[in-house]
């Protein structure tokens, strides 16, 4: 499901992925200063002042970067709960890295990360020149690992970043769309996105 309304790029049963707005800065600033959120993201808590953060936030909104794009994540009711992005995009090879973060602690462990990731991948395969999306999640973060497995990513080894071990996971357009046509992700949208898409969009003869 995708729509241009209100800057929305994708929706699912419970969520909406949309373009960022300046009004999102305050919540995002609070989340990025939260040690718990930073720990799960494999980063350090933000140390910028709010004014400095807003200036940076405004610059990012104003000037497009072809190698990265960030979006806001909100519930269908309009509650802003986090964000997701692709970055390190290489349009010549059709690859990009993916990241997602959910800020409020009471919104975690509810399958929202899986749901958002599936909705984003459907959008990406249709609207972006990408055929291979990868991510890195902390090796100890079993919850995130399971989330991305449910969303159609597969393990691709362990890497060392900034002294921490990360699990690299990958999704490729051909086999992901095949899984989607087979109904693997129906629980997250009732099958509506799959039923509305022509079978011709999934390349034949490729095994996942």
200 pLDDT band, cuts 50/70/90, is very low
Which CATH number do you get for residue 97?
A: 3.40.630.30
Residue numbers of the domain that contains 188 = 5-201
Identify which of 139, 146, 135 has the alpha carbon closest to the alpha carbon of residue 108: 146
117/152 Cα distance (integer angstroms): 9
In a domain, 207, yes or no: no
| 49-89 residue pLDDT tens | 999 999 999 999 999 898 999 999 999 999 999 999 999 99
Q: Which residues of 154-177 are buried (b: 16+ CB within 10 A; e: fewer)?
A: eeeeeeeeeeeebbbbbbbbbbbb
| 151-167 residue pLDDT tens | 999 999 999 987 889 99
In a domain, 206, yes or no: no
pTM for the predicted model, two decimal places? 0.86
2 pLDDT band, cuts 50/70/90, is very low
Give the total number of structural domains in the chain: 1
């Amino acid at each position: 499901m995708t729509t241009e309304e209100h800057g929305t790029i994708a929706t699912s049963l419970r969520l909406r992925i949309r373009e960022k707005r300046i009004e999102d800065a305050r919540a995002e600033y609070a989340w990025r200063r939260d040690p718990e959120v930073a720990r799960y993201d494999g980063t350090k808590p933000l140390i910028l002042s709010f004014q400095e953060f807003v200036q940076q936030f405004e610059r990012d909104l104003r000037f497009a970067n072809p190698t990265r794009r960030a979006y806001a994540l909100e519930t269908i009711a309009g509650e802003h709960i986090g964000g997701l992005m692709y970055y390190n995009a290489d349009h010549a090879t059709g690859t990009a890295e993916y990241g997602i973060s959910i800020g409020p602690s009471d919104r975690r462990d509810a399958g929202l990360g899986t749901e958002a990731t599936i909705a984003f991948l459907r959008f990406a395969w249709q609207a972006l020149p990408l055929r291979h999306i990868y991510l890195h999640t902390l090796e100890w973060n079993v919850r995130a690992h399971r989330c991305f497995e449910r969303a159609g990513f597969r393990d691709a080894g362990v890497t060392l970043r900034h002294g921490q071990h990360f699990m690299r996971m990958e999704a490729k357009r051909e086999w992901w769309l095949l899984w989607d046509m087979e109904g693997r992700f129906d629980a997250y949208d009732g099958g509506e996105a799959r039923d509305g898409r022509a079978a011709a969009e999934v390349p034949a003869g490729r095994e996942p």
